[in-house]
Amino acid sequence: MTVGTVVGTGACQVLTLLAWLLLPGNSFAQADEPSQVDTYVPPVRVQAGKLVYPTLARQTGAEAWVELNYMVGTNGKAYEIVVTDAVGSSDFQRAAIRAIEASTFRPAAYAGTPIDAASRFRYTFALTGDEDGVRSVFSSQYRNLRRHIETEQRDKAEATLGRMRAFNLYEDAILNLGRYWFEFTWGTPEAALQAITRATQIDDSMTLLPPEFRRVAMRSRFHAEVTAAHFGAALKTARAMEKLHASGELEIDADSRASLDKGIHDLENLRRDDAAFAVEGLIGESSNWDYALLKDEMAIDVHSGEIAELKLRCERRYVGFRFVADSTFRIPESFGTCDLEVIGNPGTRFTLTQM
């Protein structure tokens, strides 16, 4: 597996991100790292807030899922709650946010001391059971879509995709799998990644995804993340596949397992070495762009538009700070793995370089 293009980083200033350092200045500060390996314990939800199914959605039979990223404070409550992805109307998103706000957590701890830490959770709103499955008319539409894609009949594939309407979460997963094949054939890597992410993001164990689609969907997601240079996300997907295989929920043959092991090995090497790689970013209508970081240094070059601020949701720390052009941002090792949120004007295009 080839992982990315090596790029030059150029001359730039360096900012080390400390939890208390929100300054965009030009000075360099080195974070104090612990001299010994300390134990980190992530936050744990101990009391779930009530999840209320939206009334209108229940009456119409609508289903959805909502993924949230948030911080858990030392008081055991969630804050900085962000919807990172969702299927369904905004009513579902509001219900999910209210449920996580009403939840109580045991705070994370680092070296025995309670700390603020990042966490995530996915709520699934489902009215149908396993027996409902996929309607025959929808299956027929999906088969037609795949046939049009395989025979390179773009107009017919686009028309079929436009007619498909998902009735439940099963069908929504299959619909997005179809969108993935369409974007993989004629679209962009980012569009393909968005579609396959939605197809596989129903729940952590993929129990709502029809069994025959699980392996191809997860392998396609891993491939899409690598192709789009979302290497941090690809490593998470590979680890998730390992976990699902170990639990018996995802069948992986010997050849695929060997390929997966090699992919993990290559990504881990990329994470540890000095090679830099770049990924193109585009801020959408939601005014933000999310990315799972692989390395501990990054720089952002804005091509058009404007970036206002950056947020880091890390295993053991949360930092929000104003964006500074021509700067390299270094993340202390003590923060753990981090997800980056870039906030700015919709349509802003930029290059994120990690090194």
Q: Element (H or E) spanning 141, and its range?
A: helix 136-150
Q: Using CA atoms, how far apart are residues 296 and 239, in angstroms rounded to an integer?
A: 20
Q: Are 181 and 146 contacting, i.e. CB atoms less than 8 angstroms apart?
A: yes
The encoded tokens of residue 86 equal 């969702």
Name the CATH superfamily, with its identifier, for domain 40-124.
Answer: TonB (3.30.2420.10)
* Cross-strand bridge partners of residue 106: 44
Which pair of structure tokens corresponds to residue 61?
Answer: 């039979």
Q: Does 13-37+275-354 carry CATH code 2.60.120?
A: yes
Residue 21's pLDDT is 31
Q: Give Cβ neighbours of residue 225 (< 8 Å, ≥ 6 apart).
A: 193, 231, 233, 234, 237
pLDDT tens-digit profile of 136-183?
Answer: 888 899 999 999 999 999 999 999 999 998 877 778 888 988 999 999
Please give the Cα distance from 23 to 170 (Å, whole number): 47
Q: Which residue has the tokens 């208390």?
A: 20
Q: Is the pLDDT of residue 11 over 60?
A: no
Q: What is the pLDDT of residue 254?
A: 86
Environment class of 135 (CB within 10 Å of its CB; exposed 0-12, middle 13-18, buried 19+): middle
The tokens describing 29, both together, are: 């500060």
Percent of the chain residues past pLDDT 90, beyond the cut: 36
Give pLDDT tens digits for 332-343.
888 888 999 999
> What span, in angstroms and rounded, lies between the C-alpha atoms of 140 and 144?
6
DSSP label at 54? P
- The overall average pLDDT reported for the chain is 81
34 has pLDDT over 70: no
State the burial class of residue 184 (Cβ atoms within 10 Å of its Cβ: 0-12, 13-18, 19+): buried
Question: CB of 332 within 8 A of CB of 17?
Answer: yes
> How is residue 305 written in tokens?
């538009």
Indicate the domain borders of the chain.
13-37+275-354, 40-124, 136-272
More confident position, 77 or 111: 77
Class of domain 136-272: mainly alpha
Average pLDDT over residues 32-40: 46
pLDDT at 87: 82
